[in-house]
Amino acid sequence: MLEETLKRIQAHKGVIGTIVVNAEGIPIRTTLDSSTTVQYAGLLHQLTMKARSTVRDIDPQNDLTFLRIRSKKHEIMVAPDKEYLLIVIQNPSE
Amino acid sequence: MEIVYVYTKKRSEFGRQCNFSDKPAELHVDILPDPSLTDNFIDRDPCDVAIQCTQEMSEHEVNTERFDCEPCGINHVEGGWPKDVNSQEMEQTIRYRKKVEKDENYVNTLMQLGSHMEHCIRQNNTIDIYQEYFEEEEIVEEMEGQPSAKTVNVFRDPNEVKRTATSLSWHPDGSCKLAVAYSSMEFQKVTKDMSYDSYIWDLENTNKPEMTLKPVSPLVCLEYNPKDSHILIGGSYNGQIAYWDTRKGSQPVEMSAVEHSHRDPVYKVIWLQSKTGTDSFSASTDGQVLWWDIRKMSEPTERLVLDPSKKGNLDNALGAFSLEFETTMPTKFMVGTEQGVVVSCNRKAKTPAEKIVCTYSGHYGPIYALQRNPFFPKNFLTVADWTARIWSEDIRDSSIMWTKYHMAYLSDGCWSPARPSVFFTVKMDGTLDIWDFLFKQNDPTLSLKVCDEALYSLRVQDNGRFLGCGSQLGTATLLEISSGLCTLQKNEKALATAMFERETKREKILEACHREMRLKERSRSEQSKEDEAKDGEAEESAEELVACAEREFYEVVEAEMKKRGKDDKKEKEKYERKLGKTVSNENIFMFTDYLNTSSQEF
C-alpha cells in the first residue's frame, strides 16, 4: 500500500523527485541522487523546524501542516510530521 | 533688636592664658512672647503638607560585557546516522533504512502525509495559482478629462519698485529651484532706487528668495550650467557677462571686461556642450554673437558679426534677440534677430563669411524666442510679432506651420520637452497658451490668463510638467499642467513626424511653383525687352515715364467724371419726375454733393 502511494506520487505530472527523511535527517527513501537528497534533506529539515517554531510562536495552539516553497524553476512541497518528513519537488503547470 | 553681651577686660590682662572655671547657668537674654505680634500674622487653617512615604531607592547602571554573535550556516553533508551505523558503508545504511521502513509508525505516517501531498500536487497541476492574468496588455490610461493647468505658486519681486522678470532658468537637477532675472526693459524707466538684484527662488518658499545675485547692472538673461548646478551665467543690461557660483555668494565670481563685451543689453546667453563645461555664448542687439570661456572672462574666445552681407560690417549687422543651441547638433546654432530674420550659422566654419549659412525670413518683428523641437531637431519654433511659426530647416522662404494673428504681441515661447507636438506661448495681455497641433491647429488647446500685466518670459521644466512665467511686474508664476499634456501619447511621434513631413512637402511644392512662375516672368520680361529693342525704341527715360503716367491719370479722371455726369443726369431726371418740375443746375450740384456725402456715409 505504501509503495503504491509513493509510486503514484512520483508518477504525477511534473513531479521531479520524492524524498522521505526521518527526524535525524537521514533520507529513508529517495528518487533523486544521493548528494542532492542529502542537501535537500538537511536544508529542508532546518527550514521546516524554523517554520513550525514561527507558527507556534505566533499562536501556540497552531501547528504547521504543510510547507510550500515556490521558486522560479519548481515548487518544493514539504509535509511535516513529528518524526518524518515527506518532500516532493514538482514543476508546476506551465 | 540686637542681642549683645558686653564684657570688660583690663588691658594688662590681654594675652594671658585662659583659666576656665565652672559657672552656673546665667540667664542673659529672655525674650518673652509678645502677643501683639500675632496681629502681623494670619492663621492658616488647614495647612497642606506633602509627605511621602516610599521606599528609598537608588539608581545604578550596569553594562554587561558584549555578547558576540556570529551567524553562520551549516552545510549538511550527511545525515545524523546513529553511532553504530557507518555512513560510508552501503550495506549498513541500507540495512538501517530497511529497518526503518518496517516500522509501523512509519507506514501510517507516510500514508497520511502522502495523501496530503497528493492533494497539493493535483492542485498544482490543475491550476497555476500564481498565474499572471493580462500580462501582455499594457495598462491603457484614459486621457484624464480636460487638459488643465493650475497655478502652484507665485513668487513676487520683494523690492518696492517692481521690475520685469525677463528670464527664468530651472535648476538642472529636478524642480527645486528657479532662477529669475529681473531688469527693466523699458527705455529710461530705470529709477535710482530700482534694485539690480536677481533672485534664486526655492519652490517651496515664496516669501523670501533663497539667494540673491547682485550684479553690477541688472540682468536680462540668466542660465544655470546644465553640467554644474552651482554655476550660473548672466547677461546684463550694460552688455557685460557675469558668472556666479552659488557656493561663493551673491557677488559674481567674474565679469567680462567692459571693452570686449556687448554694447547693448545681452538678450540671451546659452551654455555650450564642451568637455570642460565652461563654454557659453551670448547674443545682443549690437549685432554680435560672442563666445566666452568662463575661466577667462577678460575677452571673448570668438566673435561673430551678424552681417547678412557676410562682410563682418557691424553697421550692417542685424541685432540679435534670441539664440538657439541644441546639444545634439553642436556645430550649428541659430540666432533670431530684431529684424525678424532667423540666421542659421555653422560654428566650425573657417572664415567668418562661411559662418552664416542661411537665413529664414518671414516675421515682421523681433524674434523673441527660437527653439528647436527636442524630438525633431530639424524643425524649430519662432515666436515673434503676433504669431508663432514652425519652420523646417530645408525650407528657407517660409514657415511650414503658423498660428493665426493674435490680438496681443507674443513675447516668449518654447516646446514641451515631454511631447513633440506641444508648445507654449505667452502674450503681452498676460495669457499663457498651450498649443497641441495634433489636437487642434487653429486655436490653442488651452488658454489661461495668468495675470493682468504682460508676460515676458516662459520656461518649461525638463519633465514637462511645471512651467514658470515671468511678468512685467516681476511676478514669477509657477504652473503645473495636467498629465495629459505632458505624457507622451501613443503614436504621437509618428503622427508628429507625418505632420511635419506633410507640411514641409507642401511648402516645397509651393516654393517650386513660385520659382517656376518667377522664371516664367523673367523669361517673359526678357522676351518683351528683346521685342522692344527690335522696335528700335531706346530705354524709356524717367521724364517720358512721368509724362506717360500723367496722361494715363488724366484719362482715368476724365472717364470717371463723364461717368459721374451721366449718373447725375439720370438722377436729376428721376428727381424731376418725382417733383414734377425742373431743377436748376445749382441745385443739381448741391444735390449731387448730397448724394456723394450720403453714399460716403454708407
Would you state the cell numbers that stand for residue B89, as one nine-digit string?
558503508
Residues from chain A contacting residue B77 (CB–CB below 8 Å): 38, 42
Non-local (6+) Cβ contacts of B86 within 8 A are B92
Q: How far is A59 from chain B (nearest CA, A)?
A: 23
**Strand order through the sheet with A15-22:** A27-30, A15-22, A84-90, A75-80, A67-70
Whether the pLDDT of residue B323 is over 80: the answer is yes
B369 Cβ partners below 8 Å, 6+ apart?
A: B322, B336, B381, B382, B383, B384, B412, B413, B414, B458
Instruction: Return the C-alpha cell found at B581.
Output: 418740375
Specify whether the backbone of B145 is left (phi greater than 0), alpha (psi in -120 to 50) or beta.
left
Euclidean distance between CA atoms B381 and B267, whole angstroms: 18
SS3 readout for A27-86: EEEECCCHHHHHHHHHHHHHHHHHHHHHHHHHCCCCCCCCEEEECCCCEEEEEECCCEEE
Q: How many residue pairs bridge chain A and chain B with CB atoms within 8 Å of each other? A: 105
d(CA B8, CA B538): 158
Q: Which residue among A5, A39, A46 places its CB closest to the CB of B114?
A: A5
Find the closest chain A residue to B100 by CA distance.
A28
pLDDT at B353 over 60: yes
Pairwise CB contact (< 8 Å): A9 & B97: no
The complex scores an ipTM of 0.80
Q: Provide the pLDDT for residue A69.
A: 92
Q: Do B118 and A8 touch (CB under 8 A)?
A: yes
Q: Residue B399: CB partners within 8 Å, gap ≥ 6?
A: B360, B362, B382, B389, B390, B391, B507
Q: What is the pLDDT of residues B128-184, one digit of tens each?
A: 777 777 766 665 555 556 778 888 888 888 888 888 888 888 888 876 888 888 888
State the pLDDT at residue A88.
92
Query: Which range (A70-79, B229-238, B295-304, B350-359) has the least confidence?
Result: B350-359
**What is the helix (H) or strand (E) element at residue B466, kind and residue range?**
strand B466-471
| Residue in chain A nearest B113 by alpha carbon | A79
In a 3-state reduction of DSSP, which class is residue B554? helix
| Higher-confidence position of B83 and B406 | B406
List chain B residues with CB under 8 Å of A79. 113-114, 116-117
Q: Which residue of A has its CA nearest to B106?
A: A84
Least trusted range by pLDDT, from B6-20, B460-474, B572-586: B572-586
Instruction: Evaluate whether B586 touches B592 at the Cβ level (below 8 Å).
Output: no
CA–CA dist B114, B95 (Å, integer): 24
Q: Is the pLDDT of residue B306 over 90?
A: no
**SS3 at position B534:** helix
For B80, which residue in chain A has the nearest alpha carbon? A24
Write out chain B residues lying below 8 Å of A90, CB-based: 121, 124
CA distance A80 to chain B (A): 8
Evaluate the CA torsion angle B359, B361, B365, B368 in order and state its sign: negative
Of the residues A5, A72, A91, the best mutation for testing chain B's interface (the one with the most B CB atoms within 10 Å of its CB) is A5
The alpha-carbon gap from A87 to the nearest alpha carbon of chain B, in Å, equals 9
Indicate the pLDDT class of residue A93, thresholds 50, 70 and 90. low
Which is higher by pLDDT, A24 or A61? A61
Instruction: Return the higher-pLDDT residue of B588 and B480.
Output: B480
Mean pLDDT along residues B272-284: 83
B31-50 pLDDT per residue, tens: 888 888 888 888 888 888 88
Distance in angstroms (rounded) separating the CA atoms of residues B459 and B165: 12
**E strand segments, B351-421:** 356-361, 367-372, 379-384, 387-392, 401-402, 410-415
Q: Give the nearest partner residue to A90 out of B82, B110, B124, using CB atoms.
A: B124
Taking CB atoms and an 8 Å limit, are B113 and A42 in contact across chains?
Answer: no
CA B281-B284-B286 angle, to 5 degrees, is 130
**Mean pLDDT, range B248-257, rounded to an integer:** 84
Q: Do A93 and B125 touch (CB under 8 A)?
A: yes
Q: For B16-31, give the DSSP string.
A: PPP-------------
Residue type, B428: M
Which SS3 state, helix, strand or coil, does residue A16 take? strand
Quickly tell me which residue has 521531479 as its cell: A16
> B355 versus A32: which is more confidently predicted?
A32
Contact across the interface for B121 and A1, Cβ inside 8 Å: no
Which residue is closest to B125 within chain A, CA to CA?
A93
**B216 neighbors B236 (Cβ within 8 angstroms):** yes
Q: Which of A3, A7, A20 to mutate to test the interface with B (most CBs of B within 10 A)?
A: A20
For A43, the closest of B76, B106, B116 (CB atoms) is B76
Query: Considering Cα of A5, then A7, then A10, then A11, what sign does the dihedral take?
Result: negative
Position B77 scores a pLDDT of: 65
Picking from A56, B462, B569, the residue whose alpha carbon sits closest to that of residue A80 is A56
Share above pLDDT 70 across residues of chain B, in percent, rounded to a whole number: 87
Interface of A with B (CB under 8 A): 1-2, 5-6, 8-9, 12-15, 20-22, 24-29, 38-39, 41-43, 46, 65-66, 68, 70, 75, 77, 79, 81-84, 86, 88, 90, 92-94
At B519-566, the pLDDT tens digits run: 888 888 877 766 655 554 445 567 788 888 888 888 888 888 888 887
Taking all residues of chain B, what is their mean pLDDT, rounded to a whole number?
81
Residue B263 carries which side chain, given as an amino acid letter? R
Side chain identity at residue A20, one-letter code: V
- Residue B321: HSE in the Cβ half-sphere, 13 Å Cα cutoff: 21
List of chain A residues whose C-beta atoms are within 8 Å of the C-beta of residue B80: 24-26
Helix then strand count (H, E) for chain B reads: 6, 28
* Local confidence band at B509 (pLDDT 50, 70, 90 cut-offs): confident
Distance CA B500, CA B392 (A): 8
B184 burial (CB, 10 Å; 0-12 / 13-18 / 19+) is buried
Nearest Cα of chain A lies from the Cα of B374 at a distance, in angstroms, of 43
State whether A93 and B124 contact (CB < 8 Å): yes
Q: Which amino acid is at A14?
A: G
Taking an 8 Å Cβ-Cβ cutoff, which residues of chain B contact chain A? 74-82, 96-97, 100-101, 105-107, 109-118, 120-122, 124-128, 130
Contact B97 A29 (CB under 8 A): yes
Cis-peptide, bond into residue B46, ω within 30° of zero: yes
**Can you tell me the distance from the alpha carbon of B473 to that of B453, in angstroms, rounded to the nearest whole number?**
7
Q: How far apart are CA B396 and CA B508, in angstroms?
A: 10
pLDDT of residue B537: 47
Contacts of B96 in chain A (CB under 8 A): 26
Give which of A81, A87, A89, A94 to mutate to test B binding, by max B Cβ within 10 Å: A81
Q: Which residues pair with B198 in a beta bridge?
A: B213
Cβ neighbours of residue B420 under 8 Å, at least 6 residues apart? B373, B374, B375, B376, B492, B493, B496
Find the closest chain A residue to B124 by CA distance. Answer: A92
Instruction: Give the pLDDT of residue A54.
Output: 92
Q: Which residue of B has its CA nearest to A42?
A: B76
Kindly compute the dihedral angle of the four CA atoms of residues A41, A47, A51, A53, in this order, to the nearest 10 degrees.
Answer: 90
CA distance B447 to B147: 10
The whole-number average pLDDT for the span B382-404 is: 84
* C-alpha grid cell, residue B318: 542685424
**Res B602: pLDDT:** 41
Query: Which three cell numbers, joined as nine digits, stand for B535?
Result: 522696335
Contact across the interface for A1 and B111, Cβ inside 8 Å: yes
C-beta of residue B243 within 8 angstroms of C-beta of residue B196? no
Question: Residue B446's beta-bridge partner residues?
Answer: B434
Q: Binning pLDDT at 50, 70 and 90, where does residue B585 land? A: low
Cross-chain Cβ contact A12/B122 below 8 Å: yes
Stretch B328-353: mean pLDDT: 80
Distance of CA B401 to the CA centre of its chain: 24
Rounded CA separation B378/B425 (Å)? 20
Residues of chain A with C-beta less than 8 angstroms from the C-beta of B128: 92-94
What's phi and psi for B81, nearest 5 deg? -65, 145
Whether residue B120 and residue A65 make contact (CB cut-off 8 A), yes or no, is: no
Q: What is the dihedral of CA A51, A55, A61, A62, to 10 degrees?
A: -80
CA dist., res. A18 & res. A44, Å (int): 13
- The H or E element spanning position B223 is strand B219-224
Q: Partners of B422 in the beta sheet?
A: B436
Percent of chain B scoring above 90 in pLDDT: 0
Q: Residue B483 has what DSSP assignment? A: G
Write out the H or E segment, with its range, that includes residue B146: none
- B68: distance to nearest CA of chain A, Å? 22
Lowest mean pLDDT among A53-67, B344-358, B412-426, B430-444: B344-358
Q: What does residue B411 show for φ and ψ, rounded to 5 degrees? A: -110, -20
pLDDT at position B538, please? 47
Instruction: Give the chain A residue nearest B118 (alpha carbons).
Output: A9
